[in-house]
C-alpha cells in the first residue's frame, strides 16, 4: 500500500516550506490554536508537527507561549494566514483534514472491538455514522490501516484486525525481540539535537504528571518506540516492527477503558532511564533498559486486557458487520 501523508506530516511540510521560503518570517510566534484554525484541524496534529520541526532545529522554544520560527530572531506576533503558508483554497484544506475530526473516536471504538476478534467494516455505513462523504470515511479507514488496526482482504473489503489475547501476546514478543536490536543499531546514528529535544520533552511531562494530556503521553511513546528506532541501520527490522504498531495504539485505549478517569500508569522513569542511556551512547544500558521496560509493559498490558475482557462484552456498532 502506498504511503499516505499523515495530517501532522502535511502540516509540518507546509510550515517547513514557508519557513524556507521566508513567507513565514524568522521570529514569528507559532501557537497551536491559530495554526490549527488555518488548517481547520484539531490541535493534536499541529502539536506533533511543531514537535517534529523543533527536533529538526527549524523552530525553537522561547520564554513565552508557543514556538519561534527559525533559529534566530526576536519574537514577532503576527497573524498567520493561509496565503503565508501557500494555502490559497481553504475549502481544500478542510477536505484534506476532515477525517481528523472523527478519527480518534473511530480508533477507540475499533480497538475495543478488536480484542473480541475480527469483524467486517461497512464503509458506506461508516460514512452514514459520522454523517460524512465516502472520501472522508475512506480516509479514516486508510489512516487506521497505516497503524495496523484494520486490513483489506483480496476483495477490497475492510476488516477489523483482531487483537485477541494470543495476537496481543505474540506482538509483544515480537517487540521484545526486535526493538532492543533496532535501538542498538540506531543509538549512534540518532542526532544529538533530536535526543536532547526528546529528553527535554520527557522531563517536562514527567514534572507535571499526572496532570498531562493524552496527546503528550502519545508523543512520548512515539519518541521512544518510533522516532529513535527510525535511525536503525536495519530496514528489515523496522519493516517488521510496523506490524506491532497497533498494540502501541491499542494500549492507551484499553488502559483508559479499564481505568476510567484514574491517571494512566506512570512510565516516565522507565523512559527517562532509556533516553539518558541513549544520550550517553551507552549501547548495553540502553538495550537492557528498553528490554526491561518492554517486559514490564507486556505484563501490565496483558493484565489490563484481561480486566477489560472480563468486564466487557461485544456491543453493536452501526458500521461493523458481526
Q: What is the pLDDT of residues 227-240, one digit of tens each?
A: 899 999 999 999 99
Exposure string (b/e) for 238-267, b if CB count within 10 Å is 16 or more? beebeebbbbbbbbbbbbbbbeeeeeebeb
- Domain 100-163+313-321 in CATH 1.10.150.120? The answer is no
Q: What is the pLDDT of residues 158-216, one digit of tens each?
A: 999 999 889 999 999 999 999 999 999 999 999 998 899 899 989 988 888 877 776 77
Give the domain 7-89 fold.
Answer: Arc Repressor Mutant, subunit A (1.10.10)
pLDDT value of position 88: 59
Measure Cα distances from 208 to 201, 205, 217, 267 in Å: 11, 6, 12, 13
Cell (9 digits) for 35 = 495554526
Q: How confident is the model at residue 153 (pLDDT cuts 50, 70, 90)?
A: very high
The stretch 97-114 carries a mean pLDDT of 86
Q: Which of 318, 302, 252, 4 is nearest to 104 (CA)?
A: 252
Q: How confident is the model at residue 146 (pLDDT cuts 50, 70, 90)?
A: confident
Are 7-89 and 165-311 in the same CATH fold?
no
The stretch 98-113 carries a mean pLDDT of 87
Assign domain 165-311 to a CATH class. mainly alpha
Q: What is the pLDDT of residues 271-300, one digit of tens each?
A: 999 999 999 999 999 999 999 999 999 999
Measure Cα distances from 153 to 100, 119, 161, 199, 231 in Å: 25, 12, 11, 41, 32
Q: How confident is the model at residue 1 (pLDDT cuts 50, 70, 90)?
A: very low
Q: Which residue has the higher pLDDT, 94 or 154?
A: 154
Q: Which of 205, 199, 206 is nearest to 228 (CA)?
A: 199
Residue 3 has pLDDT above 60, yes or no: no
Beta-bridged to residue 67, according to DSSP, are: 30, 61
Give the domain ranges of the chain: 7-89, 100-163+313-321, 165-311
Amino acid at each position: 500500500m502506498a504511503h499516505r501523508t499523515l495530517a501532522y506530516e502535511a502540516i509540518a511540510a507546509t510550515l517547513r516550506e514557508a519557513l524556507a521560503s521566508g513567507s513565514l518570517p524568522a521570529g514569528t510566534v507559532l501557537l497551536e490554536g491559530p495554526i490549527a484554525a488555518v488548517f481547520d484541524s484539531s490541535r493534536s496534529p499541529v502539536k506533533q508537527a511543531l514537535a517534529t520541526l523543533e527536533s529538526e532545529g527549524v523552530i525553537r522554544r522561547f520564554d513565552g507561549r508557543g514556538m519561534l520560527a527559525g533559529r534566530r530572531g526576536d519574537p514577532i506576533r503576527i497573524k498567520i494566514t493561509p496565503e503565508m503558508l501557500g494555502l490559497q483554497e481553504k475549502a481544500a484544506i478542510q477536505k484534506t483534514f476532515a477525517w481528523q475530526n472523527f478519527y480518534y473516536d473511530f480508533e477507540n471504538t475499533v480497538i475495543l472491538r478488536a480484542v473480541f476478534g475480527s469483524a467486517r467494516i461497512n464503509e458506506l455505513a461508516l460514512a452514514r455514522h459520522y454523517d460524512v462523504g465516502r472520501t472522508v470515511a475512506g480516509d479514516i479507514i486508510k489512516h487506521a490501516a497505516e497503524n495496523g488496526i484494520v486490513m483489506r482482504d483480496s476483495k477490497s473489503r475492510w476488516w477489523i484486525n483482531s487483537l485477541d489475547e494470543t495476537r496481543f501476546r505474540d506482538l509483544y514478543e515480537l517487540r521484545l525481540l526486535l526493538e532492543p536490536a533496532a535501538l542498538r543499531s540506531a543509538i549512534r546514528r540518532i542526532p544529538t539535537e533530536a535526543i536532547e529535544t526528546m529528553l527535554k520533552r520527557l522531563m517536562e511531562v514527567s514534572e507535571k504528571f499526572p496532570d498531562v494530556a493524552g496527546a503528550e503521553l502519545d508523543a512520548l511513546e512515539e519518541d521512544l518506540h518510533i522516532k529513535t528506532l527510525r535511525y536503525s541501520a536495519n530496514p528489515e527490522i523496522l519493516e517488521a516492527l510496523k506490524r506491532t504498531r497497533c498494540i502501541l495504539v491499542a494500549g492507551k485505549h484499553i488502559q483508559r477503558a479499564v481505568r476510567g478517569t484514574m491517571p494512566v500508569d506512570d512510565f516516565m522513569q522507565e523512559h527517562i532511564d532509556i533516553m539518558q542511556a541513549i544520550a550517553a551512547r551507552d549501547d548495553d544500558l540502553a538495550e537492557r533498559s528498553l528490554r526491561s521496560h518492554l517486559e514490564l509493559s507486556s505484563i501490565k498490558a496483558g493484565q489490563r486486557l484481561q480486566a477489560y475482557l472480563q468486564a466487557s462484552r461485544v456491543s453493536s456498532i452501526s458500521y461493523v458487520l458481526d
